[in-house]
Amino acid sequence: MNGDDDPAEPRLHPEPRLPPEVSMHPETRAIRAGRTANDGSLSAPLWSTSVWTSPSIVAARRSATGVRAERFYTRYGNPTVRAFEEAVATLEGAESSLAFASGMGAVASVLYALCSPGDHVVAQRQIYGGTLQLLQMMEARFGIEVTWVDVTEPGAFAAAVRPGKTVVVWAETPANPRVAVADLHELGSIRGPFTVVDGTLAPPVIQRPLEHGVSLVLHSATKGIAGHNDATLGVVSGDADLVDELWRYAVLHGASASPHDALNALRGIRTLAVRTGRQCETALTLARHLATHRSVDRVHHPGLDEHPQHDIAKRQMDAYGSLFSFEVRGGADEAAAVCERVQVAQLATSLGGPETLLTVPAMTTHVGLSPDDRLLAGVTANMVRVSVGLEHADDLRADLDRALAGP
């Protein structure tokens, strides 16, 4: 037995602190990233196994006690999932990433890993319905205190932090479904608590929160990153030590990513820059069109001059994202009718894929909230959320016009 086999020595994953591709443009990173274990194969091999044989009991013990063992048991780590994690880390400019079975798997693992009873959390009001409900459950059942802040108030996050007591500051930008924008520089300047940004609405080719100094960035990779509505996946990125710490909890929580979904997401990443670029362009075209439409009361899109945080968005995003919302004149029934009348776009509750999807957040993504919480989260009954896909902008514009014109 040599020193390398010392069972007391946990084997840390052999990874450079930052992958070399991080100096390249996002488009190049998306192509180059996550190939270290490909063995010459251009596409990542699919490791469709839950378990590996061990060469010796010492090696098995080392895997069982180490951090993120690669070929031991898929809940601990899987090379296909690892390739996806490496690709995301490269895109984010992160030392390390960790994948999960869903976006909520990532959200729950991060919150459970970092929070204990008696802790204080600062959380943005305008966030994904599932995250909001989870935090409310943690408040009620686990003795965690949450201060809810309005993302549209400058300085609100920092002002709500209680030194020595606040463990997590939770933000989402842009935020579902009113596309409110949090100031990443403000969040990155907060010292003490871990600052976590859910960046699902802005994939890392257009926004990289870690560059602004936040601790962790999280995505529902189910959305834009995988990008084809064929994978359910979450991913968290940050410094290797912190991500390893999250792993120690995550391996027990068990929301580990499927290698099949990781492979689909890795394929999605190869086209992420072109897909996102086109989707953002079309979204802005449609938002501008609807902003002057007589059947629309208001359009929420961070790229419009009238958006309250347009200047912040312009500073911290390379494009404004593929998701926007609008309020239909006439109320909730008319909003529902628009979603049911479209023929090119489709009525479905997700985002970031090739198909343009419409939904009424008050009836779907935010239906689990109390009416008061819904309004505080900026969700009105007549709001339609649009996730812009890859159809031609003219066809989508004509489709929305037809749907807004009536039956």
Ligand X SMILES: *Cc1c(COP(=O)(O)O)cnc(C)c1O
Catalytic residues: 75, 128, 198, 223
- Give the span between the Cα atoms of 301 and 320, in whole angstroms: 8
Nearest approach, Cβ of 54 to ligand X (angstroms)? 33
Residue 78 binding ligand X, by CB under 6 A: no
Nearest approach, Cβ of 334 to ligand X (angstroms)? 25
Beta-carbon-side half-sphere exposure of residue 226 (alpha carbons within 13 Å): 28
Residue 321 binding ligand X, by CB under 6 A: no
Part of the chain binding ligand X (CB under 6 A), chosen from 86-94, 127-135, 236-244, 395-403: 127-135
Residue 224 binding ligand X, by CB under 6 A: no
- What's 168's DSSP letter? E
- Element at 65 (helix H, strand E): helix 57-65
Which one, of 71, 99, 130, lies nearest residue 349 by Cα?
Answer: 130
What residues from 144 to 203 belong to the interface with ligand X (CB under 6 A)? 172, 176, 198, 200
Among residues 35, 68, 223, 366, the one that binds ligand X under rule CB under 6 A: 223
End-to-end Cα spacing for the chain: 78
Residue 382 binding ligand X, by CB under 6 A: no
Residue 104 binding ligand X, by CB under 6 A: yes
Residue closer to ligand X by CB (options 91, 202) is: 202
Tell me which residue has its CB nearest to ligand X.
Answer: 103
Q: Where are the alpha helices (DSSP H) in 295-331?
A: 310-316
Cβ burial 250-268 (10 Å sphere, 16+ → b, else e): bbebebbbbbebbbbbbbb
Part of the chain binding ligand X (CB under 6 A), chosen from 111-119, 123-131, 250-258, 394-402: 123-131
Residue 261 binding ligand X, by CB under 6 A: no
Nearest approach, Cβ of 123 to ligand X (angstroms)? 13
- Give the span between the Cα atoms of 221 and 229, in whole angstroms: 10
Beta-carbon-side half-sphere exposure of residue 106 (alpha carbons within 13 Å): 28
Residue 215 binding ligand X, by CB under 6 A: no
The neighbour count for residue 39, using CB atoms within 10 Å, is: 9
Which one, of 305, 284, 273, lies nearest residue 87 by Cα?
Answer: 273
- Give the span between the Cα atoms of 42 and 55, in whole angstroms: 28
Nearest approach, Cβ of 346 to ligand X (angstroms)? 17
- Give the span between the Cα atoms of 403 and 397, in whole angstroms: 10
Part of the chain binding ligand X (CB under 6 A), chosen from 100-108, 259-267, 332-340, 376-384: 100-108
| Interface characters, 128-147, with ligand X (x: CB under 6 A) | x-xx----------------
Residue closer to ligand X by CB (options 197, 404) is: 197
Nearest approach, Cβ of 205 to ligand X (angstroms)? 17
Nearest approach, Cβ of 370 to ligand X (angstroms)? 20
Beta-carbon-side half-sphere exposure of residue 304 (alpha carbons within 13 Å): 24
How many residues bind to ligand X according to rule CB under 6 A? 16
Task: Please give the residue ranges that form the binding site for ligand X (CB under 6 A).
Answer: 102-104, 107, 128, 130-131, 172, 176, 198, 200, 220, 222-223, 232, 234
